[in-house]
Amino acid sequence: MQTNPQLAKLIDLLAKQAALNAAKFGGKAKTRPIGYFLPRQAKWVFDDSPRKFCVKGRQCGWSKVTMSSHVLNLAYGPRNIDTWVASIDQTQAGLLLEDVVWWADLFQLGGFGDRLIKHQMQDCVTFANGNRIHLLSSNPNAQAGKRGNRVIDEFALHEQPEKLLAIALPGADWGGKLEIFSTPRGTDTEFHRLMMDIEHNGNPRKFSYYKYTLQNFLEEGGLYKLQCALPRNHHVQEMDEAQYFDFKRIDCGDDEIFNREYMCISTDEGSAFLSYDLITAAEYAPSISVPASNHDSHSSPNSQNWSADLSQIPGLTPDAELFLGVDVGRDKDLTVLWLLAKVGSVYHTITMEVMEKEPFEKQEAALYALLAMPQVKRCCIDQTGIGRQFTERAQQKFGKYKVEGINFTQGTKEDLAFPVRMAFEDRTIRIPNDKLLRADLRAIRKEQTSSGNIRFSADRGQNGHADRFWALALALHATKRKQAPLEILIGRR
């Protein structure tokens, strides 16, 4: 922090505050922290990183401890810098303002200064040294033209989070800090995408990352702090940590709600057919994946080739068996060609070619180049709709044994989808390290109809309609042996 000379005094003050809390304790919490801040809270408060990101459970005190560092830095900091806090509504802004005043009063009573706050308005607190904390609405345009620190509270709930972040980021370029925290609200949010980038895509925006669940809160002494604050006759006083955890789960009435509100699991994460952990465990390391050139310089970002570095695949031989899956699209969906090589019990992705709005002639040329390889033993093509003629022409050229057409129905989708998950669970599949592919694999949802049947669905977006998933499913289906046609030779012995 910028107020290092004040740290010893602050720690002493907080120790006294913790002692005052202890005098109010009348509960049955088993874990009793020594200091005022819980360990993860303290790490967040004193983390001087320029960018910080936290996914948190509800009511764990994160907003309040966040404001402590800003009050301390601004009230005693030598720099002329402001903090801009974006809250989701006026009520939340008022609560944050209360936290700012609470900390200022505590520091003042602790001997940090006679008069910390010079002026207080509904949306701004001005400290005696001129530094200020401003409370902004969730309107992204409110961030424009402002320099200094940025705090975005409950980021997942803001209506235009992507635009909000885009406008807020440049405002912190000249020495300001950015802090984002929120409870997750589903996988189709900018907050979730940032979290996945941090956890699975190398943290490209260089956030200092925190995750704080109800379990973390209780393990570090959160129930003790809660019982210090509650009246002695409150029913929570009779609970220990395990009982409180179960109580909150029952309170939510639904595991999905509990996971979202308290365990940092996005709302629809449980309905995803493939988890992030399964997907990323199967990915090639970035050094192994070798993107090939696009079809031409005017190709769509979704049109791409990907080839593995064959020298990095142990046990791969020139005569290894290859299997091809093709999901066919034209205007709305993508065409994806997925080529697998069998090495022992593992299927390695050799080529993944993705085409968007390409003429069928060009698509067929790419398909035929792969089918002409003698190592390709079998190919399965989605022959639903526009894929029928595509399949028939390939069968005429390479034979029905080598090329099989698959009609997509709910039944065949089930037959295709479950082997994909089994391959990921058994670690028998290797795939490219590619964020578009990862999003495609995550897009598949397994749902149950009102009649009790299973169906697989995916939203259609700019990235296609889970076309990469189905191409992989078809490639794995192609690995299932079909009986070769019987060849009868007449006149030979």
pLDDT score at 369: 94
What is the percent of the chain where pLDDT is above 90? 35
pTM of the model: 0.59
> Which of 215, 237, 271 is a domain's end point?
271
Least confident residue range of 11-15, 53-57, 237-241, 274-278: 11-15
Say yes or no to pLDDT of 280 above 80: yes
Residue 306 belongs to what domain range? Answer: 276-478
Q: What is the pLDDT of residues 139-184, one digit of tens each?
A: 888 888 888 899 999 998 888 888 999 988 888 888 889 999 999 8
Look up residue 417 and give its two tokens: 């989808």
Q: What pLDDT shows up at residue 22?
A: 73
- Region of poorest pLDDT, from 216-220, 318-322, 447-451: 447-451
Q: Is residue 489 part of a domain?
A: no
pLDDT of 469 over the 90 cut: yes
Q: Is residue 389 part of a domain?
A: yes
467 within domain boundaries: yes
Distances (CA, A) of 322 to 247, 288, 384: 54, 19, 24
- State the pLDDT at residue 1: 46
Specify the range with the lowest mean pLDDT, choosing from 153-162, 182-191, 350-359: 182-191
Is the domain of 464 the same as that of 390? yes
pLDDT at 97 over 60: yes
CATH for 304 = 3.30.420.240
Q: 154 and 95 share a domain?
A: yes
283 and 257 within one domain: no
- The pLDDT assigned to 248 comes to 93
Indicate the residue among 226, 241, 271 that finishes a domain. Answer: 271
- Do 287 and 265 lie in a common domain? no
Pair of tokens at residue 181: 């925290």
Query: What is the average pLDDT across 351-364?
Result: 88
Confidence of residue 18 (pLDDT cuts 50, 70, 90): confident
- Give yes or no: residues 30 and 87 share one domain: yes
The reply to whether 322 and 389 lie within a common domain is: yes
Q: What is the pLDDT of residues 225-277, one digit of tens each?
A: 899 888 889 999 999 999 999 999 898 876 777 888 898 877 555 557 888 77
Side chain identity at 440, as an amino acid letter? D
Q: Are residues 216 and 310 in the same domain?
A: no
473 backbone dihedrals φ, ψ, rounded to 5°: -60, -40
pLDDT digits (tens, 9 = 90+) for 281-293: 899 875 555 555 4
Q: Are 192 and 283 in the same domain? A: no
* 287 in the same domain as 178: no
**What is the percent of the chain where pLDDT is above 70?**
84
In a domain, 297, yes or no: yes
At 29 the pLDDT is: 92
- Decide which of 239, 271, 303 is a domain's last residue: 271
